[in-house]
Structure 1
Amino acid sequence: MLLTRHSFISGLAAIALLAGNITYAADDATKRIMVYGDSNTWGYMPVESGPTTRYPADVRWPGVMETELGSEYEVIEEGLSARTTDVPDPTLPHISGAGLDGSAYLSSAIATHHPLDLVVIMLGTNDVKAMFDRSPFRIALGVGKLIDIVEQTGGGVGTSYPAPKVLVLSPPPLGDVAPEGRAERFAGGVEKTEALPPLYEAIAEAAGAEFYDVGTLATTDGIDGVHFSPETHNAIGVGVAEKVMSILE
């Protein structure tokens, strides 16, 4: 009887180990993508003025992309309103630390979410704010810095994971920015955002990263001229999903 019980326990242990191995194999087969961006990645719902909320997960473009990609992919959202490529925002002191400076937080985000197959970066819209006085070229250099951070972070903290690939997205140009206060903050931003795609493409190519001009998919059509409508989120999610599949498959 003791032998039978021992055999039964051994059998359960073997099944548990096998199940564990199957689970790990499934996890290894899943392609993991981290989307690193600003309010349009977070899902900010455009309003004329005042505070707002975010779109549901299945409306935001990263969620649309995950649906398009299917069950073999997992999309992790790292979106934060007002995030820049690599400059702190002094107007939001209550968001302390590295939060708004994309370059200061990126390595921690990568290490947190490893293993990752791909990091998708869509930043630069907030860099065109008048208070930063940044040229399109300087903004593109900020994106180049982010690409380098991904490579330098590698496997993160004490792991053997390789550095993920990088896909740089150039955000669509700003629309008609409103109301007046927001228009002042983004003065000159339309022209700057229109100049970003070729600069982003050159930086990405030089750094060995992939590039996609999101402005070919949609416009910045929210009522405030800065944020996306649900239709734009959908168009971007579908279009970027095709690009991601071409990179990872």
Structure 2
Amino acid sequence: MIRRLLCFGDSNTYGWQGTLSGPAIRYPRSVRWTGRLAALLGSDWEIIEEGLGGRTIRDHFTVGSRTSVPGAGLSAKDYLPACLLSHLPLDTVIIMLGSNDMKSALERSAASIAEGMGELVDIIQTFPWEPLLDYPRPRILIVSPPLIGARKMELAGERYVNAPEKSRALAGLYQRLAVKKGVFFLDAAEALIDSPHGEAHGVDGMHLNDVDHARLARAFFEKLRAMDEHRPHTPEIPHSLAD
């Protein structure tokens, strides 16, 4: 049976290739982490890409966005239920969000962003499709995004006030959330090991470059293999949190 993986995120899931001038373009599938992950997993898996540039966890728009998106807008919380139903059955859902939520205009703290991620997890864990569709609930992997650092702040610091501190707090908050909700966790910054540690290496300081996509795909591949070794719905409890 083919296993279906929903990759739900923002521009770094879409494959946005950041630039310092002119319009950005999308990396081809062979470069995007989703496409690379599909190649690593092989024919037993089907990868569903649901990346949207500017997507936030629960805000419909961000001040300064060039495009107004109708309907659910940029809010993952509003779009996710229909997205889930349109792609069932699903074996696993990966959610990598939080970077756009750090924009100054939204005035979101790291704790508020993590709380919103918890609401997305709740949607997947409690959404009442089971009376209508005979599909089991998917496993969930929440991902703290790459760090925001000095390069991004030099280019657009006024749009991301205090974002570096927020981005460094998210991993711990998401990890604790994963334990509480009984889901899985991955820190994307851990996959981006070159200096500056944990930051995306695109020229705009925010988006992944081709090497980042390759490293992130490998990290997801190894994580999915590790998840298969766990019993269903068994939460991971890091030693630092279990003591």
Give the TM-score band, short-chain normalised: 0.7 to 0.9
1:69 and 1:124 mapped to 2: Cα distance? 26
1:185 and 1:94 mapped to 2: Cα distance? 18
The equivalent of 2:207 in structure 1 is: 227
The equivalent of 2:26 in structure 1 is: 54
1:1-249 equivalence runs, <5 A: 29-91=1-63, 92=65, 94-153=68-127, 155=129, 158-175=132-149, 176-177=151-152, 180=155, 182-218=156-192, 219-248=199-228
State the identity %.
38
Deviation at residue 136 of structure 1 after TM alignment: 0.6
* Higher relative helix content: 1
Q: Which moved more, 1:132-141 or 1:183-192?
A: 183-192
Aligned residues: 220
Structure 2 residue runs without a partner (length 5+)? 193-198, 230-243
Deviation at residue 183 of structure 1 after TM alignment: 2.8
Q: 1:113 to 1:149 in 2, by over 3 A?
A: same
Q: 1:149 to 1:135 in 2, by over 3 A?
A: same
User: What TM-score, normalized to structure 1?
Assistant: 0.84
Q: Which amino acid aligns with 2:201?
A: D
Superposed CA deviations along residues 9-28 of structure 1, whole A, max 9, x for unmatched, are xxxxxxxxxxxxxxxxxxxx
Superposed CA deviations along residues 67-109 of structure 1, whole A, max 9, x for unmatched, are 1111111110000000011122154462112130011111111
The CA RMSD over aligned residues, in Å, is 1.7
SS class of match (1:177): helix
Deviation at residue 214 of structure 1 after TM alignment: 1.1
Superposed CA deviations along residues 5-51 of structure 1, whole A, max 9, x for unmatched, are xxxxxxxxxxxxxxxxxxxxxxxx11110000000000000101332
Larger Rg: 1
SS class of match (1:169): strand
Superposed CA deviations along residues 94-137 of structure 1, whole A, max 9, x for unmatched, are 21121300111111111000000100000000000000111111
Q: Which amino acid aligns with 2:228?
A: L
User: What TM-score, normalized to structure 2?
Assistant: 0.86
Q: Which amino acid aligns with 1:149?
A: I
